[in-house]
Amino acid sequence: MVIMMLRSARLFFILLSMMAIAGSVGRAESAPAEKLEPIFNGRDLSGWKSAAANSFWRVERGVLIGESVPALTENYLWTEQDYGDFVLEFEVRWTGEIDSGVELRKPNMQLQLGVSRSLKRDMSGSFYVGKPGYPEAGQAKDAAKLMRPEGQWNTFRLEAVGSTFTVWINGQQASRYTDDKFSGAAPLGLQIHGGLKMKVEYRNLRAAVR
């Protein structure tokens, strides 16, 4: 009986040691999480540039607000820094219809937020690539299920790594698109679409270069 207990105890300690070693190996192989740095300071438009920026963009209580002017002209707010491979996280909210998004890379690509002017439906989380429009492979078809009710904050994560572009909405992957065409580093831009009375709010914009 004593011998059986000793054997059981020895087996138990062997298993514990194996689990500890496996855990150490897993941690060593895991890539460290990137450190995201604020690209919006919550006070003013430092680090950003735009034609007539103060007419379209303002900061209130840590929130970056983009709102159309009476003439309903288009406007973009651009980062002063260019980004090639990067990770971007931000929170966004709106009420009613908007057409906004994040511009990236050269030639121009956009992560759509709100209703597409051309398709007349919400394409949030999808990629717009210019004249071809929204490629099927880059559409976030389940975005409506991932987003919170209108007027609440939603967290988006956008990764651009090589030729692959991925979007998460509130922690869930919404779309992934691969295209070698969009390879050039460029500023990140936030859009106010022309011809539409709209207001969109952003906060906690953070990025890391890959």
- Residues of the chain short of pLDDT 50, as ranges, are 1-9, 11-32
* Predicted local distance difference test score (pLDDT) of residue 34: 77
Record the tokens describing residue 128, joined without a space: 């717009």
Record the tokens describing residue 170, joined without a space: 């509130």
Question: Tens of pLDDT along 101-127?
Answer: 999 999 999 999 999 999 999 999 999
CB 201, CB 60: distance < 8 Å: no
Question: Tens of pLDDT along 72-101?
Answer: 999 999 999 999 999 999 999 999 999 999
Strand (E) positions, 68-163? 75-83, 86-94, 99-104, 109-114, 127-128, 154-161
Give CA–CA dist 21/31, Å, rounded: 18
Amino acid, single-letter form, for residue 117: R
> How many CB atoms are located within 10 Å of the residue 16 CB?
10
Query: CATH class for domain 37-209?
Result: mainly beta
* Predicted local distance difference test score (pLDDT) of residue 189: 98
Record the tokens describing residue 11, joined without a space: 């087996």
